[in-house]
Amino acid sequence: MTHNNACPISVIMAVYNGGSFLAAAIASILRQTWSDFELIIVNDGSRDDSAAIAEDFARKDPRIRVIHQHNQGVGAATNTGIKAAGGRYIAIMDADDIALPKRLAVQLAFLEANPDISGVGGQFLTIDTEGSITGLDFQPVEPATVFACNHAFFALHHPTTLVRRDAFESVGLYWEDRSCLAPDYDIFTRMMAAGHCFANVPEIVLLWRLNPTGLTHSKALAQTLSSHAIRQWGFQQLSNSNPALAARIAQNLLMSFPTGTWFDHKLHNLSANDNRQYLLSFLEQFKHLSSFSTLENLMLRWLDGDNQVAGHLEQALNEQGLPWFAAQLALHSRPDRTVSPEVSAITLPDCTGNIQLSVLIPYFDDDNELTQRLDNVQNCCPKAEVIIFAVGNQAIKPIETSTRTLVLQTIDAGQNPWLTAAQTASGQYLAYLEPNFRFTADGISSALQQVEQGKPLVYVPAERYFLDALDDRQNPYPDPARQPKWTQSTLLGHNRLHLSGFVHQRHLLAAIKLPFSELDGIYPHALAIALAHRHELSVATGRHQVFIPGIAFSNRILPAFKQKLLTWYFDSGLGLLPEPGSCNHFDGNRLSELAKRIDKAYASGSFCLHWGNKKAFIEFFSGLSRPLQYKLFRDLVKHSHAEVLSNLHRQNRYAQIPLCRIYSILYKLLNKLSCFRQTLTRNRFTG
């Protein structure tokens, strides 16, 4: 097949009834800094004004050609454009998206410099129908990571891709059968199976419109099922041709838990069957190729929803010296279990001297940013004491330090390095700075101001920056997604707590009871969630920074398992709240006794209700015969009145509904009366 190579790039834009956004999409291509291209618009039988809009642009710019055809679907329309194209490279562009000006230039330079790469995608921002930015998605960058991740989710975003045309032609172009609702995922999976390599540039190259009338939204569930079939076909091809590589990729995906982009997460939520079972089944079949231990295999199966392995996993945890986690797993699986190993509190020496703030900086193996974090602390809080301590196996590299910096090179075997650092610190207040986090002067000063005013626990939320998503100046792009109002409830409910955000009074650690000897790999998470559940949290006005690394593979099976159980432990009222349906065989007395234990733990401040766990407590307490006798339920009625009434109605607990309404009215009246009295008192003193 011969082609006119007058221009290197042919941009293919298929459109069907896309008149609302077509002009903006075409204009974005015409604004490219690389101008040597042709734009082929394939009108796939549109019934709106798409054809007229495309023809109008074509009359004004000779680089544009418009092809009209009867409606045949996006795969056939894209094939029509590729067959008519003259460029060596094919750029895919959707008719409702906006390409950023440097897209073609950046991607062409990448492919010219990397002849072994068949195609390249890029990072993208999401926008709504009005064009407002709503979020950011980033894909893996390195070719090997793209290839591996493509067996878990579509690791190339189709409308960001620039591909060598011979790669398309080598697999026969797009599948035109309309039963395939993910033709983009299909063709890239087939190209990878044929040996083609792909990558993503770190630059943001596209604004991807979340269009309610588009395929992604209108046929999302069917598209999910189509994606499942494609994904499993691709992995089957790999396992047939190279079982060792398939095993390595399966292990990387299973142990790293890559979640994909907004799009993949959305599709995952649409279908409960979108799991990694086919990867587990492969490793089960080829056990000699797997390096997972028995414990890791059991944890993976449990994390994947297989509760039948709980008994074996509990035994394996005990054998591995993790009795506390074994006990929580037993409570999770069998709520009639009541015995849990005793855990000790943190012992801290008395605070001496006049040091106000101690900042704890952990040093991990191959930590290449310790100096930057140390400089960051000295710039934002120069009077703070700094404790640097090793968490991994490597000694801390020699660094220049001030007289206020203490380096703990060696920590006794069996001692928790985080505890040792906290016990060594001399400050009245403690703060933490983990890798990828940075203090800001506003954040740390606003937090210190609040603790000095008597707030025991202050949290500084972090603005997120993505290391694998770069702006025009090659800087990490800030997360543009709209953030909720950060409170103790939303921070816990959205799982957005990081230890590096806390500044707190030193003595708060003494109230924390955790299995410290079992917290390797998750101590920062454990301490953060324990502090937030045990103490009232105030949110600072400033913001720190956290830099989100790109997708990479590392063994996170044990930390992920521990984090899930520890989060469940606190969210379920110290492991007391049973999983839905697990206590259906309990009689009224046993349920009442369980409710009393949960209420006692709640009243003592051992855990807190928040946005993420209150639904489960509403469900449980609404099913009791006299729920208003419990403080926890009364607080739910006060603060989540509508949700409680809805749940009572759903459970046919009609007798409780008027009682809850009366209690809510009385609470509001008493609250107003209290405010009125405070106003009178203030006026009396000021008058």
Is 428 in the same domain as 282? no
Look at residue 631 in the predicted model and tell me its pLDDT. 96
What is the tens place of the pLDDT at every residue in 82-106? 999 999 999 999 999 999 999 999 9
Longest dimension (CA), the chain: 93
Is a pLDDT exceeding 90 seen at residue 619? yes
Is 201 in the same domain as 318? no
Q: Rounded to whole angstroms, what are the CA distances from 609 to 30, 302, 508?
A: 53, 26, 20
What is the tens place of the pLDDT at every residue in 9-26? 999 999 999 999 999 999
Is 18 in the same domain as 105? yes
In a domain, 277, yes or no: yes
Is 305 in the same domain as 400? no
Is 54 in the same domain as 143? yes
Structural domain ending residue among the three candidates 265, 300, 333: 333
Q: Are strands 437-438 and 429-432 parallel, antiparallel or unpaired?
A: unpaired
Strand (E) or helix (H) holding 68: strand 64-69
User: 676 or 497: whose pLDDT is higher?
Assistant: 497
92: three-class secondary structure by DSSP: strand
Is a pLDDT exceeding 80 seen at residue 334? no
In a domain, 577, yes or no: no
Over residues 201-212, the mean pLDDT reads 92
Q: Rounded to whole angstroms, what are the CA distances from 683 to 121, 673, 677, 680?
A: 66, 15, 10, 5
Over residues 329-345, the mean pLDDT reads 76
Around Cβ 685, how many Cβ atoms within 10 Å?
Answer: 7
Tokens of 497: 């707590």
In a domain, 348, yes or no: no
In a domain, 580, yes or no: no
d(CA 416, CA 391): 9
User: Residue 463's domain spans which residues?
Assistant: 357-550
Is 151 in the same domain as 73? yes
Is 437 in the same domain as 532? yes
Look at residue 541 in the predicted model and tell me its pLDDT. 94
Is a pLDDT exceeding 50 seen at residue 369? yes
Structural domain ending residue among the three candidates 550, 580, 604: 550
The one-letter code for the residue type at 451 is V
CATH number for the domain including 531? 3.90.550.10
Most confident of 101-115, 377-391, 411-425: 101-115
Is a pLDDT exceeding 50 seen at residue 305? yes
d(CA 562, CA 556): 10
Look at residue 271 in the predicted model and tell me its pLDDT. 45
Is 190 in the same domain as 268? no
Is 210 in the same domain as 74? yes
Over residues 131-152, the mean pLDDT reads 93
Q: Are strands 429-432 and 502-505 parallel, antiparallel or unpaired?
A: antiparallel
Is 191 in the same domain as 251? no
Structural domain ending residue among the three candidates 502, 533, 550: 550
Tokens of 240: 């047939």
In a domain, 677, yes or no: no
Over residues 512-536, the mean pLDDT reads 93
Q: Rounded to whole angstroms, what are the CA distances from 41 to 3, 13, 84, 211, 442?
A: 18, 5, 10, 19, 51
- DSSP annotation of 153 reads S
Q: How confident is the model at residue 218 (pLDDT cuts 50, 70, 90)?
A: low
* Number of compact structural domains in the chain: 4
d(CA 495, CA 612): 9
Around Cβ 420, how many Cβ atoms within 10 Å?
Answer: 15
d(CA 17, CA 95): 9
**H runs (alpha helix) in 242-369:** 243-256, 262-270, 277-285, 294-303, 310-319, 323-333
Q: How confident is the model at residue 275 (pLDDT cuts 50, 70, 90)?
A: low
In a domain, 567, yes or no: no
Over residues 154-170, the mean pLDDT reads 96
In a domain, 125, yes or no: yes
Is 48 in the same domain as 158? yes
**H runs (alpha helix) in 400-501:** 417-424, 441-452, 488-493
Look at residue 306 in the predicted model and tell me its pLDDT. 86
